[in-house]
Amino acid sequence: NLVDAVNIAALSALSTFRRPECTLGGEDDQEVIIHPPE
């Protein structure tokens, strides 16, 4: 039971982690970089 609960918690924590859709870069963070969905 404890192992199942830990596995469910780990999967739910990893499922909420997502890569940002866009980031700021370049000189003075003036460039917007849009990442393609994977």
The HSE-up count of residue 23 (CA atoms within 13 Å, CB side) is 7
pLDDT value at residue 11: 87
Say what the pTM is.
0.43
pLDDT value at residue 3: 92
**pLDDT digits over 1-38, tens only?**
899 999 999 988 887 777 778 888 888 878 988 888 76
pLDDT value at residue 6: 93
pLDDT value at residue 7: 93
Token digits of residue 32: 């917007």
Token digits of residue 7: 């596995």
